[in-house]
Amino acid sequence: IKGGSGQNLADLIIGSTVEGRSSLRFVRLPDQKRVYAALVDIDISTKFEDWIERDLLQVETRNIQQVTLRDYSINERTRTIDQRDVLTLDRSDDAWKTQGLSSNQEIDSAKMDELLEGIDDLPIVGVRPKPEGLSRTLARSDQTPVSQADALSLQTRGYYFTSDGSLVSNEGELEVRTSEGIVYTLRFGEVLYGSGQTVTAGGQGEEGDQESGPGENRYLFITAAFDAKLLDDEPPEPGNTAFLHKEQEEWTDSDRSNKEMQDEHDQWQEKLTRGGELAENLNNRFAAWYYVISSDSFEKVRLGRSDLIKEKEAMAL
């Protein structure tokens, strides 16, 4: 418990209630072995869902402009990819389009809405810390070699580096591009069985050594990047900024036109700066963790061509 200026007011480890005395809890100071029974009148939740950031991706469906679903498998021996299908869907005037459809095919708008909702509301049920060295490499997005221990950490959760250094996952991936310039890549990994604390924080079976069991979940590896090409085209800058050194009542028609151009460019520059900062903040947060999602969440966002493309309904005569 900290005060307003950040100083420690109390540092306690609070345990279970005392049997037969529901008003008392076991309490211990972190640097002492002695355990006390104390009257603790404080409501502290230790539930994972009460503390985790619920808006994981921080994306709104109206800002999603492109979704790409990559369906592939990995040859774990040669580290090569068998690309089965790539489906890219683009938003245009509030309608979704894709190339390669026949005359009697169309995008299933209801399924597309479900996919967008699944991306926007992507609840996680657990986390695992990535190795520190791997987290630093991912946060910097540099070419620092990944150690053998870090590679093993990835592999146990279903992630591999290909022969050319690309990171892939054994259940494919989903790429989401937004009008803010953010590119999210969601890579789906191994199954994790279990429930409760085993899933939220780790425990017996967390490394995927259970081949079956109740509570099927899935590892999720997320990265974020910024692509300025996703923003509107850069507006032209004014050729003359003399208006900056004049009172507004002294402006000519040319000055007013230049001021409008300057405002438009400043707004574009703000979007550029804001998008870059958002991508950096997101990637720094994602770099530290493997996430765990439920099988229900996985099925909502891990769709394919057969899920999103349907035959057109026959017109009634």
pLDDT at 92 over 60: yes
- pLDDT over 90 for what percent of the chain? 57
Taking alpha carbons only, the member of 97, 67, 85 closest to residue 305 is 85
Cite the DSSP H helix spans in 156-304: 197-200, 253-286, 295-301
Across 203-214, b (16+ Cβ under 10 Å) vs e yields: eeebeeeeeeee
Higher pLDDT, 65 or 58: 65
In this predicted model, which residue has the larger pLDDT, 35 or 131? 35
Q: What is the mean pLDDT of residues 160-184?
A: 90
pLDDT in tens, 275-284: 999 999 998 8
Residue 200, pLDDT score: 82
Over residues 215-251, the pLDDT tens digits come to 689 999 999 999 999 998 999 999 899 999 999 999 9
Question: Terminus-to-terminus CA distance in the chain, angstroms?
Answer: 72
pLDDT score of 203 more than 60: no
Mean pLDDT of 141-156: 77
Q: Give the whole-angstrom CA distance, residue 295 versus residue 71.
A: 18
Count of CA atoms in the C-beta half-sphere (13 A) of 26: 10
Percent of the chain residues past pLDDT 70, beyond the cut: 91
- On the question of pLDDT at 96 being above 70, the answer is yes
Q: What is the largest CA-CA distance in the chain?
A: 85
Provide the 8-state DSSP code for 158: T
Q: What burial letters (b/e) apply to 21-36, b meaning 16+ CB within 10 Å?
A: eeeebebeeeeeeeee
Please state, in angstroms and rounded to a whole number, the distance separating the CA atoms of residues 284 and 265.
Answer: 29
Residue with tokens 């939220």: 200
**Predicted confidence (pLDDT) at residue 142 exceeds the cutoff of 90:** no
pLDDT value at residue 139: 57
Q: What strand order describes the sheet that includes 80-92?
A: 95-97, 80-92, 64-75, 173-178, 182-193, 216-226, 289-294, 126-129
For CA atoms 207, 212, 216, 221, the dihedral sign is positive
pLDDT at res. 75: 79
What pLDDT was estimated at residue 146? 75
Residue 79, pLDDT score: 74
In whole angstroms, give the CA distance from residue 25 to residue 35: 10
- Rounded CA-CA distance 294/264 in Å is 44
Nearest to 48 by CA among 198, 175, 165: 198
Helix axes 253-286, 132-140, angle to 10 degrees: 160
Q: What is the DSSP letter of 8?
A: B
Q: d(Cα 6, Cα 309) in Å, to the nearest integer?
A: 55
> How high does pLDDT run on average in the chain?
87
List the one residue out of 95, 91, 266, 59 whose CA is nearest residue 180: 59
Cα distances from 220 to residues 35, 85, 223, 291, in angstroms, run 39, 20, 10, 5
Instruction: Please state the pTM of the whole predicted model.
Output: 0.80
What pLDDT does residue 209 have?
43
Residue 168 has pLDDT above 50, yes or no: yes
Helices (H), 25-131: 109-120
